[in-house]
Amino acid sequence: MAYGAHVARVRLEHVSKQFGEGDEQVTAVDDISLDIEDHEFMILLGPSGCGKSTLLRMVAGLEDPTAGDVFIGDHRVNDQLPKLRDIAMVFQSYALYPHKTVRANIEFPLKVRGVPKAQRAAEALHAADVLGLTDYMKRKPGQLSGGQRQRVALARAIVRKPAVFLMDEPLSNLDAKLRGDTRTELVDLHRRLDSTFIYVTHDQVEAMTMGSRVAVMNAGRIEQVGTPQEVYDRPASAFVAQFIGTPPMNLLPVGVLGTDDVQVGIRPEHLVLSTGGPLSGTVSMVEHLGHEVLLHAESGAGRLVARVDPASVIPAVGQAVQFDAAPQHLHRFDATSGVRVS
């Protein structure tokens, strides 16, 4: 039984969504256009309230766009019910029916579509097998761990073989260890299903490790779309530069290492200790993380964070230090708009 027999491209054209009326009107999504290719694992990444979930819900059909068009395949689906859109959605809370067994939960989308009982059972079993759930078919969601529930939610999504999978922060209720494991499994699942995934998260690690491409969102707009590496290496704006990367990029005050209308940013790994370097400060904290050391320093240009090799000589707290960075590692952003200038 193969999944993803019919894959689909998802296109959003000038899509906006406003909530409320009059003075209380809020724009959640502001004129977004995005083209998501067949088979792509697209991540919508951004802080809380940036409109990423609203965007996903518009693709699902749970919200109607105030303006713009949503296409799945070649069809404009603005006026189509979710069930006609050939999508499946995984919710942050998993949204499992607590009164139904795992089997009944997985079978539910097929039952609703009138699939005969025997076929339903076979397909549910196959979906459960893909996600390693065959031993739990008779249990209720309340008897499962968070990770298992999450798999049931995934099984319920894949059992219908939809063209597009929509996932709204599906890992955020899991603990850190399980989240790491499940990330790998989701990437593997995407490869096996060979379908289009649209995945909403505020976690940049998920975005960097899972996505074929990442759309970084802020205040209802898309700041940048690109592969994780592109977004990391050449952030399109100061916002993206700060949002992607742990610890975030050092953004120097306007004028430091640049002209009066340019703000310069340097990634912590590119800030190197250098006697006589242009950025001087005093070490305020040293974080030993095993494979690396994070050096925090207070300088005239604000707080700087540098990633240092633990094998090197580490300055002590209170010691005066100087930093430098190679010219190719300086990111320049327009001081007013925040847009990348080089």
Point out which residues bind other proteins (CB under 8 A).
60-62, 81-83, 87-89, 91-93, 95, 97-100, 108-109, 112-113, 141-142, 156, 160
Considering beta carbons, is residue 14 or 111 the nearer one to other proteins?
111
Please name the residues in contact with 284: beta carbons below 8 A apart, sequence gap of 6 or more. Answer: 296, 297, 298, 303, 317
Kindly list the distances between the CA atom of residue 134 and the CA atoms of 99, 139, 185, 189, in Å, as whole numbers in the listed order: 19, 10, 17, 17
Rounded to a whole number of angstroms, the minimum distance from the CB of residue 220 to other proteins is 21
Closest Cα to residue 168, out of 134, 191, 202, 144?
A: 202
| Three-state DSSP state, 265 | strand
Rounded to a whole number of angstroms, the minimum distance from the CB of residue 141 to other proteins is 6
| Three-state DSSP state, 78 | coil
Rounded to a whole number of angstroms, the minimum distance from the CB of residue 106 to other proteins is 11
Under 8 Å between Cβ of 32 and 16:
yes
Rounded to a whole number of angstroms, the minimum distance from the CB of residue 59 to other proteins is 11
Kindly list the distances between the CA atom of residue 180 and the CA atoms of 73, 192, 205, 206, 229, in Å, as whole numbers in the listed order: 32, 19, 9, 9, 19
Considering beta carbons, is residue 142 or 327 the nearer one to other proteins?
142
Rounded to a whole number of angstroms, the minimum distance from the CB of residue 84 to other proteins is 8
- Region of 34 please: left (phi>0), alpha (psi -120 to 50) or beta: beta
Considering beta carbons, is residue 93 or 227 the nearer one to other proteins?
93
Considering beta carbons, is residue 115 or 325 the nearer one to other proteins?
115
Closest Cα to residue 207, out of 234, 229, 237?
A: 229
State how far the Cα of 21 lies from the Cα of 208, in Å rounded to an integer: 37
Rounded to a whole number of angstroms, the minimum distance from the CB of residue 7 to other proteins is 19
Considering beta carbons, is residue 112 or 122 the nearer one to other proteins?
112
* Buried residues in 270-283 as b, exposed as e (16+ CB within 10 A): bbbbeeeeebbbeb
Tokens of 68: 């713009």
Considering beta carbons, is residue 128 or 244 the nearer one to other proteins?
128
Q: Running DSSP on this structure, what letter comes out for residue 253? A: P
Rounded to a whole number of angstroms, the minimum distance from the CB of residue 14 to other proteins is 24
Considering beta carbons, is residue 66 or 209 the nearer one to other proteins?
66
Helix, strand, coil share of the chain (percent; to 5): 30, 30, 40
Rounded to a whole number of angstroms, the minimum distance from the CB of residue 113 to other proteins is 6
Considering beta carbons, is residue 160 or 270 the nearer one to other proteins?
160
